[in-house]
């Protein structure tokens, strides 16, 4: 589908539906949040602040559906999931167009967002094999022990604005495939994409009420977390909210996984391929407007590699943001005026604290879009670890650079950082790469790869302050997160066995 034909027909005045207790409908909420196009501030829809009665109704409907869905054989669940992934592929570009409109992402970036979610749905189709238990025969005389993998119940997903297709599909397809039901609370800043995902979910043939969708903010999130009938909470977002969700969830005895903030580093060794380094640094720092938790925001140049900084500056300078349907745009706007203002504040803070601003995107303007939330590529040098632009996540197209004398020094800098989401090293030395992957205290490591997000048969494994919980998203760890293990120890008696046992005793 071309970009010209992919644009959906959206009534800008419409309030986005909720899915509660049997179907999509308008919320009874009296308050709404405007959903705006970040490129021009036009209001394209409204997200309702779902009422507490509707939240309770959604959880109750999901709980009732769970009692039936848990009995459906895993192969049958997988077959419907296969239909769902086919529908997602058939509607891939349409979903991407909706996503691009409400997030401001370029169309290519929006397509990638959708596709990475589809990959997790494909993995969910393999659920029968992933839910097999273990068996040990004759753990004692005539006694066998085996385990069963069983679903939890009603699970909850709280998803962010920056990946409104991928992150929901990290969550509810895996939970549903395992036999659970789900309540999705997407970001109120881009709720239309998640709604479309759930529309296709039911079009695939899933029974009603397996996935409920409510919209809102902190009040709705807290109501879901504290509800007595919800069992597991999945969250992706900022560190403060992640800490709140984790503490509130664990206080209420919920199983919780919270993927939070990051400060991702790339180490550049002197023997690294210069062209690859420049391309990787530019794409991973300003791509998606820097609004991704795996973006590279710190480049650590080791030794003579510092000479590459000017090449990075020159390459960043030619990248221009623009509207989602502009083929020449390198990336889109920030999600909101508030996000833009926050990023501009960090840029000014960097200057005030003594960093050298080699490229300043503060006054970025895009022709025809004077009200867009655009920030141009920004590059800092001479950054130290005590500076705000190093210590805090900026979540924008801003790259800070540092110098290290040795690889050991670079590793120490990264290990001292409180975040541990992603990291990468660019080098031609196998020895340096092996030392780095062994000693670095970060959960996801790239070697000559800038953004090492694992495919769905692995898991997304952030460490330290980038993650709160025990089991990570998708892959095998998601199966463990969305299920419980029941261990059975069994002994059976029959007449022949009793006779044989008596004869053994008599012989002794």
- The phi and psi torsions of 370 (rounded to 5 degrees) equal -70, -20
Residue 242, SS3 per DSSP: helix
- Longest C-alpha distance within the chain, in Å? 97
Nearest CA-CA partner of 100 in 308, 302, 322, 430: 322
Residues 6+ apart with CB under 8 A from 177: 74, 77, 78, 81, 124, 125, 127
Instruction: Order across the sheet with 264-268: list the strands.
Output: 356-359, 378-381, 398-404, 296-302, 264-268, 422-426, 444-447
Q: Are 100 and 114 in contact (CB under 8 A)?
A: no
Integer CA distances (angstroms), 403 to 210, 262, 294, 305, 306, in order: 52, 20, 21, 9, 7
Element (H, E) at 407: helix 407-416
Q: Which residues pair with 463 in a beta bridge?
A: 420
444-447/422-426 β-pairing: parallel
Nearest CA-CA partner of 345 in 359, 331, 362: 362
Among the listed residues 125, 258, 293, 364, the single catalytic one is 293
Q: Which two tokens stand for residue 87?
A: 């529908």
Residue 293 annotated as catalytic: yes
Which parts of 275-434 are beta strand (E)? 296-302, 356-359, 378-381, 398-404, 419-420, 422-426
Q: Which residues pair with 126 in a beta bridge?
A: none
Nearest CA-CA partner of 57 in 87, 7, 19: 19
Residues 6+ apart with CB under 8 A from 357: 347, 350, 351, 378, 379, 380
Tell me the CA end-to-end span of the chain in Å, nearest whole number: 81
Q: Are 298 and 456 in contact (CB under 8 A)?
A: no
Which residue numbers are catalytic?
Answer: 293
């Amino acid at each position: 589908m071309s970009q010209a034909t992919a644009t959906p027909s959206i009534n800008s005045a419409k309030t986005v539906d909720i899915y509660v207790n049997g179907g999509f409908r308008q919320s009874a909420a009296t308050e709404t949040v405007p959903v705006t196009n970040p490129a021009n501030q036009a209001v394209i829809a409204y997200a309702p602040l779902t009422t507490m009665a509707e939240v309770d109704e959604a959880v109750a409907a999901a709980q009732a559906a769970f009692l039936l869905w848990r009995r459906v054989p895993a192969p049958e669940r997988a077959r419907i999931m296969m239909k769902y992934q086919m529908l997602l592929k058939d509607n891939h570009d349409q979903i991407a167009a909706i996503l691009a409109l409400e997030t401001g992402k370029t169309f290519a970036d929006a397509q990638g967002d959708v596709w990475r979610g589809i990959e997790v749905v494909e993995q969910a189709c393999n659920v029968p094999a992933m839910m097999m238990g273990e068996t040990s025969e004759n753990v004692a005389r005539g006694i066998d022990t085996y385990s069963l993998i069983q679903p939890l119940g009603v699970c909850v997903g709280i998803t962010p604005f920056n990946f409104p297709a991928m992150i929901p599909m990290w969550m509810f397809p895996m939970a549903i495939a395992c036999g659970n039901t789900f309540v999705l609370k997407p970001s109120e800043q881009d709720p239309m994409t998640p709604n479309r995902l759930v529309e296709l979910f039911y079009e695939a043939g899933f029974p009603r009420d397996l996935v409920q969708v409510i919209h809102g903010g902190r009040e709705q999130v807290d109501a879901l977390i504290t509800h007595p009938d919800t069992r597991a909470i999945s969250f992706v977002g900022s560190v403060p909210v992640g800490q709140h969700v984790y503490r509130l969830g664990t206080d209420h005895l919920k199983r919780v996984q919270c993927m939070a903030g990051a400060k991702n580093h790339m180490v550049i060794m002197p023997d690294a391929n210069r062209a690859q380094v420049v391309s990787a640094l530019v794409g991973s720092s300003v791509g998606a407007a820097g609004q991704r938790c795996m973006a590279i925001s710190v480049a650590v140049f080791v030794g003579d590699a510092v000479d590459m900084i000017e090449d990075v500056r020159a390459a960043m300078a030619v990248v221009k943001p623009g509207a989602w349907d502009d083929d020449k745009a390198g990336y889109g706007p920030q999600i909101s005026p508030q996000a833009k203002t926050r990023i501009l504040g960090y840029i000014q803070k960097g200057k005030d604290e003594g960093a050298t601003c080699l490229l300043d995107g503060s006054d970025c303007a895009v022709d025809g879009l004077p009200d867009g939330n655009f920030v141009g590529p920004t590059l800092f040098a001479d950054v130290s670890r005590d500076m705000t632009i190093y210590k805090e996540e900026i979540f924008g197209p801003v790259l800070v650079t540092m110098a290290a004398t040795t690889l050991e020094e670079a590793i120490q800098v990264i290990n001292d950082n409180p975040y541990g989401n992603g990291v990468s090293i660019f080098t031609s030395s196998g020895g340096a790469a092996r030392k780095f992957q062994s000693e670095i205290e970060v959960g996801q490591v790239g070697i000559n790869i800038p953004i090492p997000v694992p495919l769905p048969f692995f898991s997304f494994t952030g460490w330290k302050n980038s993650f709160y919980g025990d089991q990570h998203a998708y892959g095998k760890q998601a199966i463990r997160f969305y299920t419980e293990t029941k261990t059975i120890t069994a002994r059976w008696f029959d007449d022949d066995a009793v006779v044989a046992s008596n004869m053994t005793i008599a012989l002794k």
